[in-house]
Amino acid sequence: MIIGGNEDRDNDKPVLRRIVALSERAQPKIVVITAASAEPDVVWQAYDGAFEDLGVRHRQRLDLPDRHAADHAAHVRTITEADIVFMTGGDQTRLMSALAGSRAAVAIREGFAHRGQCVAGTSAGASVMSEHMMASGEVRSPPTKDMVRLARGLGLLHGVIIDQHFSERGRLPRLFAALAHHPPLMGLGIDEDTALVVRPFDSIEVIGSGAVTVVDGSSSTIDRVACAHGEALQLEKVVVHLLPAGGRYTRHAGATPVGPGIATAVHLLTTAACG
């Protein structure tokens, strides 16, 4: 579950509630990885309280401040035994500097791909889910190719790049810039308090209060303009789908009728889960 940040943690909590439901356990074990945050105590308290409100008894905090911690056998076992792995917001570069190449990362990837584990992440925790992640990037228009820096993510999903706080922070130019680096990637812009649920080889679903913007650059031409603004990107024929919360799209003719554009995106996304 890819959450765009700033999800409701105090009221009805529809996004967090769905995470608990997705585990399909009466008493799921949840592990909250706070490694992205500079204030893990504050973040942990917020989610500990929220998941307690939702009736989750088995809640465990995992700070994983560095690579050493992320290789620690006891921590890896904690991840392996969890029904739900939740990664908080903060800074995705901080999170990946602890997780990259670690045994914890392998455990999360395998849990998602092979053991049906529910992996959820919000904001920075959402960005790391793909193979290529947005490490940093300004929000500026027109976008320039050097405006964003990409880095390796956890690699739960292939062929996509994720941005969060999407509509709220006007990040379309930034996602355009990321696609200019790797045009075959499909961009996913996730709004705040909104999540994309990807069920491998099955369906995608949008929940929460916003929308998911799918940006498909595969049939576009992306050029630098040969002019004074040497680095400004000109983009032609980028195809955009807007999927509002409430929609579920199955791989095979689903409940919601969709045309070939969305169907292609659904196929790509549900296949993108590494297996």
Q: 151 or 232, CB closer to its own copies? A: 232
**Rounded least distance, CB 43 to its own copies, Å:** 25
Residue 196 Cβ vs its own copies, minimum distance, rounded to whole Å: 13
Tell the smallest beta-carbon distance from residue 233 to its own copies (Å).
6
225 binds its own copies (CB under 8 A): yes
Q: Which of 192, 203, 205, 241 is catalytic?
A: 192
Q: What is the token pair recorded at 40?
A: 């893990």
Q: How far apart are CA 240 and CA 259, in angstroms?
A: 13
Helix, strand, or coil here: 103? helix
Distance in angstroms (rounded) separating the CA atoms of residues 147 and 145: 6
Using CA atoms, how far apart are residues 241 and 132, in angstroms rounded to an integer?
21
* Footprint of its own copies on 112-171 (CB under 8 A): 139, 141-143, 166-170
Cα 239 from Cα 113, distance rounded (Å): 29
Neighbours of 182 (CB within 10 A): 14
- State the SS3 of 177-190: HHHHHCCCCEEEEE
Question: Would you call 37 a catalytic residue per the annotation?
Answer: no
- Span of 39-47, 81-89, 97-105, 209-217 interacting with its own copies by CB under 8 A: 209-217
Closest C-alpha to 233, from 197, 187, 179, 196: 179
Q: Mark 68-107 with x for binding to its own copies (rule: CB under 8 A) and - for no binding.
A: ----------------------------------------
What the block records as the tokens of 72 is 């620690």
- Asked if 187 is part of the footprint of its own copies (rule: CB under 8 A), the reply reads no
Q: Which of 61, 98, 191, 200 binds its own copies (CB under 8 A)?
A: 191
- The footprint of its own copies (CB under 8 A) covers 139, 141-143, 166-170, 172-173, 176, 191, 210-211, 213, 220-221, 225-229, 232-247, 256, 258-259, 261-262
